[in-house]
Amino acid sequence: MGITKIAFVALGLLILYLFVTADTSPASCNHSCSTSELDVLSCSSASLTTNSCCVESPGGLLIVAQLYNFNPGLGPGDSWTMHGLWPDLCNGSYPSSCDPSRAYTDIPAALKRYKQYPLLEYMTEWWRNDPIVTTENGTDADLWAHEFGKHGTCMSTLHPDCYHRYQPELELVDFYSTSVRLFKELPTAEFLAACDIIPSNATTYDLADIEECLSDATGGFTPHMGCSEITGYLNEVWYYGHLRGRIGGGTFEGTNSTFKSTCSATGIRYPLKLNSGY
């Protein structure tokens, strides 16, 4: 066999080897985001023409939702706790449960598989289920699963095709770690305490004062304040913002709420927790 023929045979075998061993799964064909793509802000005009693996689209209006659970008193001390991270559409409406095939159920097991022990420990303390507010019956872990199934599956940058060498449930790490990170960046109890708005069974507060306090603490943006329909007590806050980049590692930039407060203008109760620290 001539040298030229041997070379062609060797080349053919090499090409065959590369084809057989290549990772051709959808995750291996992910879009590699450029620096400029990761700098695009969700809901901006540029987001309409940017790959949805690199910017949240169409659900680019993010909400960091927190709870104040006074009865039972969930979470450490007088702190607020986590409710979720939600991707609303840019017009204020929202998608829901976008991919039933990824409605994962055993969140603790998935996080342990990826060795996310500190993350799971933090969630166990700070992401508590209050069915009266969340309307999700069950355990804290049931709430975590509900939040990803309803909201996380609608986040474009968490789609499995956006990951290189995707592994099952890998996107959960980004969803929960970013939810925790943004919760830490918005310490509601500390913000309010700095304005002398603290839990009390004797004092009431005006909505305008609460909104002004949180607006000043977050760059001039007014969040949504929620109060119980039954008691009128303060129990929820939603911080609105857009995201620059992907859910995993993106930068949250605040904006004003698109949803009217459910609290009265005056006489808002912000009571001490029962069994505080439970």
Q: What is the DSSP letter of 30?
A: -
Q: Is 161 exposed, middle or buried (0-12, 13-18, 19+ CB in 10 A)?
A: middle
Q: Which of 155, 167, 173, 201 is nearest to 54 (CA)?
A: 155
Q: Closest by alpha carbon to 233, among 199, 190, 194?
A: 199
Question: Would residue 83 show up in a list of annotated catalytic residues for this protein?
Answer: yes
pLDDT at 60 over 70: yes
Q: Is 147 one of the catalytic residues? A: yes
pLDDT higher than threshold 90 for residue 1: no
Domain ranges of the chain: 31-269
pTM: 0.87
Average pLDDT over residues 152-176: 97
Q: Say if domain 31-269 classifies as CATH 3.90.730.10.
A: yes
pLDDT of residue 25 exceeding 60, the answer is: no
- The CA-atom distances, in angstroms, between 276 and each of 68, 160, 182, 271 are 11, 40, 24, 11
Q: With cut-offs at 50, 70 and 90, classify the pLDDT of residue 30.
A: low
Q: Provide CB contacts within 8 A for 64, sequence distance 6+.
A: 85, 179, 182, 183, 186, 238, 239, 241, 252
Active-site residue, 159 included: no
Average pLDDT score over the chain: 89
DSSP per residue, 35-53: HHHHTPBTTSGGGGSS-TT
Angle made by CA atoms 28, 33, 38, in degrees to the nearest 5? 145
For residue 130, the model assigns a pLDDT of 84
Q: Which one from 146, 151, 159, 224 is the annotated catalytic residue?
A: 151
Please, are residues 258 and 93 in contact by the beta-carbon 8 Å criterion?
no
**pLDDT tens string 194-238:** 999 999 999 999 999 999 999 999 999 999 999 998 899 999 999
Over the stretch 80-99, which tens digit does the pLDDT of each residue have?
Answer: 999 999 999 999 999 999 99
Catalytic position from the list 37, 56, 136, 147: 147
* Candidates 83, 159, 224, 242; catalytic one: 83
